[in-house]
Amino acid sequence: MIIDAHAHIWYPPSFSLEEFLKWAARLGIDRLCVSKLPSLRPSSISSFSKANRDVAEAMKAHPEAILGYCYVNPAYGERAVEEFRRCLEEYGMLGLKLYTDCHCLDPRVSPLIELAVGFNAPILIHTAHMQRRYIEEALPFHRNPPTVSNSEEVAELARRHPKATIIMAHIGGGGDWEWAVKAARNASNLMVDTSGSGVDLGMIELAVREVGAERVVFGTDNCLSSGIGKIRGAELSERDRRLILGENMLRIIERRGLP
Average pLDDT, the chain: 95
CATH number of domain containing 160: 3.20.20.140
| pLDDT for residue 250 | 98
| pLDDT for residue 246 | 98
Q: What is the pLDDT along the chain (259 residues), one digit of tens a residue?
A: 999 999 999 998 999 999 999 999 999 999 999 999 998 889 999 999 999 999 999 999 999 999 999 999 999 999 999 999 999 999 999 999 999 999 999 999 999 999 999 999 999 999 998 877 777 666 655 567 789 999 999 999 999 999 999 999 999 988 899 999 999 999 999 999 999 988 999 999 999 999 999 999 999 999 999 999 999 999 999 999 999 999 999 999 999 999 9
In terms of DSSP H, where are the helices of the chain? 17-26, 45-61, 78-89, 110-118, 132-135, 139-142, 151-160, 177-183, 203-211, 224-232, 238-242, 248-256
- The rounded distance, in Å, linking the Cα atoms of 245 and 225 is 14
| pLDDT for residue 32 | 98
- 20-45 confidence digits (pLDDT tens): 999 999 999 999 999 999 988 899 99
CB-based burial label for 158 (10 Å; 0-12, 13-18, 19+) = buried
User: Is 109 in contact with 157 (CB distance < 8 Å)?
Assistant: yes
Q: How many domains does the chain have?
A: 1
| pLDDT for residue 145 | 79
| pLDDT for residue 142 | 54
| pLDDT for residue 219 | 98
Residue 68: give the domain boundaries. 3-256
| pLDDT for residue 138 | 64
In eight-state DSSP terms, residue 205 is: H
| pLDDT for residue 175 | 86
pTM for the whole thing? 0.95
User: Is 73 in contact with 48 (CB distance < 8 Å)?
Assistant: yes
Residue of 170, 193, 184 whose CA lies nearest to 249: 193
| pLDDT for residue 140 | 54
| pLDDT for residue 178 | 96
